[in-house]
């Protein structure tokens, strides 16, 4: 039986970002199952007024090597990912912040945005807004739009339903963005088990993702060092 729980220990199945490595088939059906498990765990926390604040592929673990069950940690792989400065301006992965979070307006739909950012990264090998300068990155998140239509044309093997889920999670309008509970009711999640099982991640996308993670980690390391001078 599939399940998702909150833990503070290491599991044998590796991190969620590890799915980009190797030749294991990543299909839409298994992605929907994994994101369902992530969402039900986030929803469990939110019902208890706990908001994750930094959801990324290094705080999501697989229970074992079968990769059937997700485990979620409140902390990431290292303190670079969970970094925060004295003013709270550079918390964790600055490139996944929501527009409202940057403006310090709301927090209760940030988890939905993080889920969208994570799925976007897996599908495209990068985040939609990525710049080594944190303030420039914040500006881009607030001011620029994600070209979903053009991206879909470049990835015709991604279903319309999955892309609609992605667009919903990354809706910049706070009032229109679904909550985590709303995303759980999205047809892409509700129909898990019915999606195509062919490979959707090509070698280039996987390689881009791995290289992007390395570049982000290098920049996070630099930021961490500057904050501790």
Quote the pLDDT of residue 58.
Answer: 84
How many CB atoms neighbour CB 221 within 10 A?
13
Whether the predicted pLDDT of 23 surpasses 90: no
**Contact predicate 180/42, CB 8 Å:** yes
Give the model confidence (pLDDT) of 191-213 as tens digits.
999 999 999 999 999 999 999 98
Question: How many domains does the chain contain in total?
Answer: 1
pTM of structure: 0.89
- Angle at 2 (CA atoms; ends 98, 166), nearest 5 degrees: 30
Residue 202 vs residue 51, higher pLDDT:
202
Quote the pLDDT of residue 68.
Answer: 87
Whether the predicted pLDDT of 87 surpasses 60: no
Quote the pLDDT of residue 163.
Answer: 95
Q: Please give the DSSP secondary-structure letter assigned to residue 27.
A: B
Q: Domain limits at 111?
A: 4-227
Q: How far is CA 155 from CA 26, 125, 149, 205, 210, in A?
A: 15, 12, 10, 11, 19
Per-chain mean pLDDT for the chain: 85
Q: What CATH code is carried by the domain that includes residue 181? A: 1.10.510.10
Give the model confidence (pLDDT) of 52-77 as tens digits.
878 888 888 888 888 889 888 776 66
> 62 φ, ψ to 5°?
-100, 135
Produce one character per residue of 141-179: b if its CB has 16 or more CB atoms within 10 Å, e if not. beeeebeeeebbeeeeebbebbbebbbbbbbbebeebbe
């Amino acid at each position: 039986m599939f399940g998702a729980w909150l833990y503070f220990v290491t599991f044998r199945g590796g991190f969620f970002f590890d799915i980009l490595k190797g030749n294991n088939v990543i299909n839409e059906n298994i992605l929907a199952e994994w994101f369902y498990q992530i969402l039900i765990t986030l929803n469990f926390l939110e019902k208890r007024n706990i908001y994750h604040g930094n959801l990324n592929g290094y705080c999501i673990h697989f229970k074992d090597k079968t990769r059937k069950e997700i485990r979620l940690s409140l902390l990431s792989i290292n303190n670079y990912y969970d970094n925060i400065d004295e003013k709270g301006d550079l918390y964790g992965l600055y490139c996944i912040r929501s527009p409202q979070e940057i403006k310090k307006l709301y927090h209760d739909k940030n988890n939905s945005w993080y889920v969208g950012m994570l799925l976007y990264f897996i599908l495209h090998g990068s985040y939609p807004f990525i710049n080594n300068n944190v303030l420039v990155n914040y500006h881009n998140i607030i001011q620029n739009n994600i070209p979903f239509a053009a991206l879909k044309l470049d990835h015709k093997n991604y279903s319309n339903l999955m892309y609609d889920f992605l667009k919903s999670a990354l809706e910049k309008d706070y009032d229109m963005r679904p909550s985590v509970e709303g995303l759980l009711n999205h047809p892409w999640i509700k129909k898990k088990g019915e999606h195509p099982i062919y490979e959707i991640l090509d070698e280039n996308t996987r390689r881009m993702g791995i290289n992007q993670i390395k570049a982000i980690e290098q920049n996070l390391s630099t930021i961490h060092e500057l904050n501790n001078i």
